[in-house]
Structure 1
Amino acid sequence: MPRTGERGGPQTRARISEVATRLFLDRGFDMVTVAEIAREAGVSSVTVFNHFPRKEDLLLDRTVDAVELLRSAVRDRAPGVDVLASLRDVALGLVDTRHALSGVKDGSIPFFRTVAASPALVARVREIASDLQRTLAEELERDPAFEGDGGLLAAFFIAGYGTVLVETARRLMGGEPPSAVADDHRARLERLFDALRGGVC
């Protein structure tokens, strides 16, 4: 028999993620075991790994959302809208809504500190960035309306977006006012897209 709450799919996944995030932020990523998370969430360790193949993904659980946003920016853009404009709208939309992927969501500082303190999480972030770059490049290569160099655009966009995020995290952890950091974050994204427009597309 499954333990309490092991069924339910998305609800089980959400509960595991919530418990894991709370424990990681309270105690640090490396100080919490998957067995502890499973026990706190009322599931087995096997169930945890069924939903999250890697321990790191218990905290970095927005990768699927990021992939879908990139794919949608390419596939679902309106006729006459080029890829760079679509990516810009998505990126700035995340900032304006303070989405978790924007880097400026309220309460993000404990998350940033937890990631920065764990070499395993930092390494996983880099792997995710590489996966996102590959995803975007593949989407661009399949898009008959895109005439630029998809590999270069994907590389520059993901690297640039990551650079903006890292600087924003550094400033927030340094105690700068969140509203000022968010305004500068948006301005730096605008500069990123201006540079991409002038140099890649």
Structure 2
Amino acid sequence: MEKQGLRERKKQQTREEIANVATAMFAERGFENVTIAEVAHAAGVAKMTVTNHFPLKEDLVFDRAEHLIRELPATLVARPEGESVLAAARRGYAQRLAAHDPTLGHLGVRFARMVMDSPALTARERQIQVEAEQVLADELVALVEPGDELTARVVAAQISGVYRILYFTARKLLLDGLQGLEMVETLGAAAQRAFALLEADLSGFDPRPRLRSTP
């Protein structure tokens, strides 16, 4: 078990090192101007190692995509008793903002410019946002009673929409020169206003895992 844990940590470390090297190269030369072979050479690994970790070249940049896609659904599903889905979404955003979670889009001017300068990266970024909404919708659908699936998907679209708007708002603020505490405070205030707009409709949406009858 310990060897397996060490092997997984080493694998994750290699993955992060490759992504860091690739992102630095892309930021300097442009995403389309750097090949996978060049990334592998710079990272000191085989080309196959790179493609094993990152089947899509774009995911060398968005190496935290899985976190972006899964974190919100996990927060909502695991929320404590008495906390609504909307309240959990609001809390989750505030916690991630305070923790400087880069998947909120508010860190790294060079990263932001690199993505905006690449049609392939902007397309993949939008695709990740769509995937995030789909995963959240599926998680909420699994919690509601039969017949309430449409409600769950509408709720997922509204909450995901707020997260998406805040993500791109963060990028605009970043490119406008906002950083540090001022960035966090500005985004925090924007999040409060955005979630407040959903309060009247979504504050009572509080589905819980359905109990399964024993055979």
Q: Structure 1 length as normaliser, TM-score?
A: 0.87
8 Å Cα contact 2:98/2:184 also seen in 1: no
Look up the equivalent residue of 2:11 and give its one-letter code. Answer: G
1:67-78 superposed matches below 5 A: 67-78=69-80
| CA distance, structure 2, for counterparts of residue 178 and residue 116 of structure 1 | 22
**Given the alignment of the two structures, is residue 121 of structure 1 paired with residue 121 of structure 2, yes or no?**
yes
- 1:109-145 CA-to-partner distances (Å, cap 9, x unmatched) read 1111111111111100111011000000000011148
Identity %: 34
Look up the equivalent residue of 1:76 and give its one-letter code. Answer: A
Deviant stretches of 4+, over 6 Å: 145-148
Look up the equivalent residue of 2:126 and give its one-letter code. Answer: R
- Unaligned 5+ segments in structure 1 are 1-6
| CA distance, structure 1, for counterparts of residue 101 and residue 169 of structure 2 | 17
Look up the equivalent residue of 1:52 and give its one-letter code. Answer: F
Q: Which has the higher contact order (CA 8 A, sep 6+)?
A: 2
8 Å Cα contact 1:16/1:37 also seen in 2: yes
1:42-81 superposed matches below 5 A: 42-81=44-83
Please name the residue that 1:135 is paired with.
Answer: 135
Partner SS, residue 60 of structure 1: coil
Counterparts in 2 of 1:97 and 1:76: CA distance versus 1, 3 Å: same
Please name the residue that 1:189 is paired with.
Answer: 191
Q: Which of 97, 103, 117 is matched with 2:105 structurally?
A: 103
Q: How many residue pairs were aligned?
A: 193
Look up the equivalent residue of 1:116 and give its one-letter code. Answer: M
- Unaligned 5+ segments in structure 2 are 1-8, 204-215
